[in-house]
Structure 1
Amino acid sequence: MPVAAQNRLKSAQQDQSVGWALASLSLATLLSSLGTSIASVGLPSLMQAFGASFQAVQWVVLAYLLAITTLIVSAGRLADMFGRRPLLLGGIALFTAASVLCGLAPTLWLLIAARAVQGLGAALMMALTLAFVAETVSKERTGSAMGLLGAMSAIGTTLGPSLGGLLIAGLSWRAIFLVNVPLGILTFALAWRALPASKKNAQTAQGKFDAMGTVLLALTLAAYALAMTLGRGNFGPLNIGLLAATSTGIILFGVAQRNAKSPLIQLASFRDPRLSISLAMNVIVATVMMATLVVAPFYLSRGLGLDAAMVGVVLSTGPLVSALSALLAGRLADRFGASRMMVAGLLGLATGTFLLSLAMTQLGIASYVVPITVTCFGYALFQTSNNAAVMSGVGAGERGVISGLLNLSRNLGLITGASMMGAIFAIASAKEQQGVGQQLLSSEAAARGMQVTFQTATALALVALVLALLSARVAGRLEPNVS
């Protein structure tokens, strides 16, 4: 066979191998995002099935999110030490087994415990999918691969409520957890077949696992997450105490990392301004995007007077736009550069949130659909470009931890946004409601709450935009040193 033909055949085989690997990583991303979104729709059914209060059944969602938030960085570190392939396969298997336990749970508290285990499996999957992209895909195609994973995450978020509603209506609440089992088995089989054996980094492989740092970080993140979620934004003594515990935990964690021989996180990594800025932007943008999930339902139902079914349809616009935009965003990042596309994405995000802050109810559904389309396209462009920029510049021995930090920063932003944006909306709408009563939010109050919330979101988006411009300038300065 001629050499040219052999090279073409070899290239085709490599492309096919990469394609199967991306398929398995995409399914893992879909599973973890579906696990987050599908459970929320089942809370009313769980209240009825177990005769429990809303405060009790909300832990079905919180346990999953807390497990991911507190363990995702540790999961990345373990993968850097012992290899990403076995850890990712273990995460998929753990998620699938925990889904069986969730579906068969005889009591609410066993269900909550199983959801925490499921969250651990999801943490492994979320931390390692981004790391595997940098290992399996060429640098020139990193943006496209990140776009694919972003699209699958958005699809999982979009699919969860509708699929969950159909499963509960046709079968029972147990089906929303058991549906993960066949998907998990398929994902495991694909990953087993397609993912390459990861090469251990000599330095990280020889180090010991930082148990003290892991415990301190987990407790600190758990305290912060609980401070932001308990009381639904109404801060009391418990929330203040948890924030104080968070501050103490940050200090203790920093001291522990300086003294550890093999720290969980290399604090020196944060001296790289590009990484620090990227993580900060991730927190800010996630905080902004959470406003669309927390505030929009009230605006659509009270401000525009839509019924529940129509609210659900309109709300699906955002995740659908994100899913469709992510694939295009990846290609744009590959073609024009991640830094430029981050700036473009944040410009789109700021424009969209500004339009949402106008809350012109006289335009009807268009007053939400048009701005949210701009917002979510900007978000997809930023998220894909930011992930690509960070992961393409990370050494092999740190990919797991940095991937975990990217996901952690996003989760912290979502948790912060749920509390902060919800509180801003409540305060702004309450002022508009003065003397009217709080039992039924008026159209004017919902519109006013929407305006103030997204004015805040626009200001945050502009802060992120300034950071992106700073990051692009820093990257330009450092580029000659890299070459």
Structure 2
Amino acid sequence: MSTQTRTPAPGAGGAPAGAAPSAAPPDVPRPASRAVPVAVALVAASLPMFMATLDNLVVTSALPVLQAELGASLTDLQWVVNAYTLAFATLMIAAATLGDRWGRRRTFLGGIAVFTLGSIAAALAGTPGALIAARALQGVGAAAVMPLSLTLLAAAVPASRRAMAIGIWGGVSGLGVALGPVVGGAVVEGISWQAMFWINVPVALVAVPLVLRSLPEQRGRAQRLDLLGLVLAAAGVLGVVWGVVHGNEDGWTSAGVLGPIVGGVLALALFLAHEARTPHALVPLRLFRSRSFSVANASGFAFSLGAFGAVFLLAQYLQIVQGYSPLEAGLRTLPWTAAPMVVAPLAGMLAPRVGVRVLLTGGLAAQAAGLAWLAFAASDGGYAALVPGLVLAGIGMGLTFAPSATAVLAGMAPDDHGTASSTNATLREVGVALGVAVLTAVFTAAGGTIAPDGFEAGLRPAVLTGAAVIALAAVASLAMPRGTGRGEG
């Protein structure tokens, strides 16, 4: 009997915060010859995904160490984060499309291999440039791992246990994000910064045979890859982020800054024009006719920009100004990064009763208020003054994830679930990259430097900028149709 199954792709779920998807994929019969324990399939699908989500933020606690040991500038540190995020964001939808054509398990295994090679290259890097290139290679691999892990899991478990398996998968994804700063800090402090990347190698060696044993090969709807759309989108996002990152250092009117920004905006405009005409669109613009989809994407993009740009700076503040070790700093971010593990499932249960809008707006407002608190409390010195803001921001983050995922898929045809979720995940990752770039540009313009006596000068205006962006997202979320998500699930 053939071991292949053919199923439409469910959501990508590749968020920096990794909430569980709001809708389970359609039932898929599993071949009897490949019956495996659900726990084994869960580990096989979730372990590589955990690596990918962990590495989103694993370097945040190590940034001051990288600055000291590699002689990295603040611009270099931004690219250590953004090289991963941009590669991840721009290739995620393309990887899902290739998985449909070439085989999802084959593409998934290829993603694990590329991610592992990128990890080895990062561990061996001796210069900031080499580390940035290796992080980009990691992001290429993660782009194939993240959207396909859920698809493969959904086909590998019985329909009666699929919702439970997807829920656990979402929890593992969120755990990877929450533990990123902690694991990075622990490894850097206990061993070395290189060990952050070496630990991915044994994980991959365990994951590959598990995948081969427990996840059957599948193919989906064969669709031609929109290469022109992919190139235009990647060039546009890279040009804008490049210009913002280098604006303060090189001058906002210099050719090296203005050229990439103008070129990036032009490439994005051409991308939209191309997507409106091509029958094989990378991002079908018709999806944005859904008001709930459009509002969820706009608020998710703004949320990622404000929140994760602030994480980038606050993780360094805890070490550079408050003097904590990498591990101590990572642990002190947990009231923020780990709160969604508790709050997001509760929000998911409440959404069918109260609807998405009230939860999404409340979550974004709480996140904005939490960042504003952190911006003012940071100048008071002690960590205790930060705790209320961290908790409030964490609660807001948890209230945002599940309702946003529900809104993205509300009213969508099942065949569009994969594309809709992948588009949402891509926009959130682009928001992360722009957040790091924009908030750091504000930090630098306000006189901030990566030194104990110069960090606070730029921190408050930068974090307040993040709070303002999220507050605007809260206002925009009021455009969400009132009944979205109510009665679903």
Alignment of 1:59-70 (within 5 A): 61-70=81-90
**Counterpart code for 2:211:** A
Task: Show the counterpart of 1:459.
Answer: 468
The answer on 1:222 being equivalent to 2:246 is no
1:158 maps to which of 177, 182, 189: 182
1:116 maps to which of 121, 126, 136: 136
**Counterpart code for 1:90:** G
**Counterpart code for 2:420:** I
In 2, the alpha carbon distance for the partners of 1:187 and 1:402 equals 28
Task: Show the counterpart of 1:75.
Answer: 95
| Structure 1 residues 454 and 394: CA distance shift in structure 2, 3 A | same
In 1, the alpha carbon distance for the partners of 2:165 and 2:478 equals 24
Task: Show the counterpart of 1:209.
Answer: 225
**Counterpart code for 2:252:** F
Post-superposition offset of 1:180:
0.8
| Structure 1 residues 16 and 230: CA distance shift in structure 2, 3 A | farther
In 2, the alpha carbon distance for the partners of 1:144 and 1:472 equals 29
Post-superposition offset of 1:279:
1.3
**Contact 1:37–1:157, Cα closer than 8 Å, also in 2:** yes
Per-residue displacement from partner, 1:35-67 (whole Å, max 9, x unpaired)?
344456667877898888886787555543332
| Structure 1 residues 112 and 429: CA distance shift in structure 2, 3 A | closer
| Structure 1 residues 106 and 247: CA distance shift in structure 2, 3 A | closer
Task: Show the counterpart of 1:377.
Answer: 395
**Contact 2:240–2:260, Cα closer than 8 Å, also in 1:** yes
In 2, the alpha carbon distance for the partners of 1:288 and 1:457 equals 4
Post-superposition offset of 1:251:
2.0
**Counterpart code for 1:323:** A
1:251 maps to which of 269, 274, 282: 269
Alignment of 1:423-438 (within 5 A): 423-428=441-446
**Contact 2:98–2:225, Cα closer than 8 Å, also in 1:** yes
**Contact 1:348–1:378, Cα closer than 8 Å, also in 2:** yes
Unaligned runs of 5+ in 2: 1-29
1:271 maps to which of 289, 294, 300: 289
Task: Show the counterpart of 1:5.
Answer: none
In 1, the alpha carbon distance for the partners of 2:367 and 2:347 equals 16
Task: Show the counterpart of 2:478.
Answer: 469
Task: Show the counterpart of 2:252.
Answer: 235
**Contact 1:424–1:452, Cα closer than 8 Å, also in 2:** yes
Per-residue displacement from partner, 1:299-338 (whole Å, max 9, x unpaired)?
6568xx62242x8624533345433532442244035437
**Contact 2:75–2:246, Cα closer than 8 Å, also in 1:** no
The answer on 1:329 being equivalent to 2:344 is yes
Paired residue secondary structure (1:261): coil
Post-superposition offset of 1:378:
1.5
**Counterpart code for 1:128:** L
Post-superposition offset of 1:284:
0.9
Of residues 156-165 and 48-57 in structure 1, the stretch that sits farther from structure 2 once superposed is: 48-57
Paired residue secondary structure (1:359): helix
| Structure 1 residues 17 and 348: CA distance shift in structure 2, 3 A | farther
| Structure 1 residues 399 and 125: CA distance shift in structure 2, 3 A | farther
Post-superposition offset of 1:79:
2.9
| Structure 1 residues 248 and 344: CA distance shift in structure 2, 3 A | same
Post-superposition offset of 1:178:
2.3
Of residues 421-430 and 261-270 in structure 1, the stretch that sits farther from structure 2 once superposed is: 421-430
Per-residue displacement from partner, 1:158-185 (whole Å, max 9, x unpaired)?
31232234231xxxx5533322111112
**Counterpart code for 2:473:** A
The answer on 1:27 being equivalent to 2:27 is no
In 2, the alpha carbon distance for the partners of 1:454 and 1:335 equals 30
| Structure 1 residues 324 and 247: CA distance shift in structure 2, 3 A | closer
Of residues 84-93 and 359-368 in structure 1, the stretch that sits farther from structure 2 once superposed is: 359-368
Task: Show the counterpart of 2:111.
Answer: 91
In 1, the alpha carbon distance for the partners of 2:465 and 2:79 equals 29
Per-residue displacement from partner, 1:210-265 (whole Å, max 9, x unpaired)?
22222222222221232232356763422221111111111221232233232222
Post-superposition offset of 1:379:
0.8
In 1, the alpha carbon distance for the partners of 2:423 and 2:168 equals 21
Post-superposition offset of 1:467:
3.0
Post-superposition offset of 1:78:
2.3
In 2, the alpha carbon distance for the partners of 1:147 and 1:328 equals 11
Task: Show the counterpart of 1:7.
Answer: none
Post-superposition offset of 1:268:
0.9
**Contact 2:61–2:181, Cα closer than 8 Å, also in 1:** no
In 2, the alpha carbon distance for the partners of 1:86 and 1:182 equals 20
Post-superposition offset of 1:122:
0.9
In 1, the alpha carbon distance for the partners of 2:397 and 2:259 equals 34
Length, aligned pairs only = 448
| Structure 1 residues 197 and 403: CA distance shift in structure 2, 3 A | farther
**Contact 2:61–2:330, Cα closer than 8 Å, also in 1:** no
Task: Show the counterpart of 1:188.
Answer: 208
Post-superposition offset of 1:269:
1.2
> Radius of gyration: which is bigger?
1
**Counterpart code for 1:186:** V
Of residues 31-40 and 176-185 in structure 1, the stretch that sits farther from structure 2 once superposed is: 31-40
**Contact 1:100–1:177, Cα closer than 8 Å, also in 2:** yes
Paired residue secondary structure (1:407): helix
**Counterpart code for 1:213:** G
Task: Show the counterpart of 2:6.
Answer: none
- Structure number having the greater helix percentage: 1
Task: Show the counterpart of 2:382.
Answer: 364
What TM-score, normalized by structure 2, do the two folds share? 0.76
Alignment of 1:238-317 (within 5 A): 238-296=256-314, 300=318, 306-309=322-325, 313-314=328-329, 316-317=331-332
**Counterpart code for 1:372:** L
Of residues 109-118 and 123-132 in structure 1, the stretch that sits farther from structure 2 once superposed is: 109-118
| Structure 1 residues 15 and 194: CA distance shift in structure 2, 3 A | closer
In 2, the alpha carbon distance for the partners of 1:33 and 1:372 equals 21
Task: Show the counterpart of 2:3.
Answer: none
| Structure 1 residues 297 and 213: CA distance shift in structure 2, 3 A | closer
In 1, the alpha carbon distance for the partners of 2:316 and 2:128 equals 29
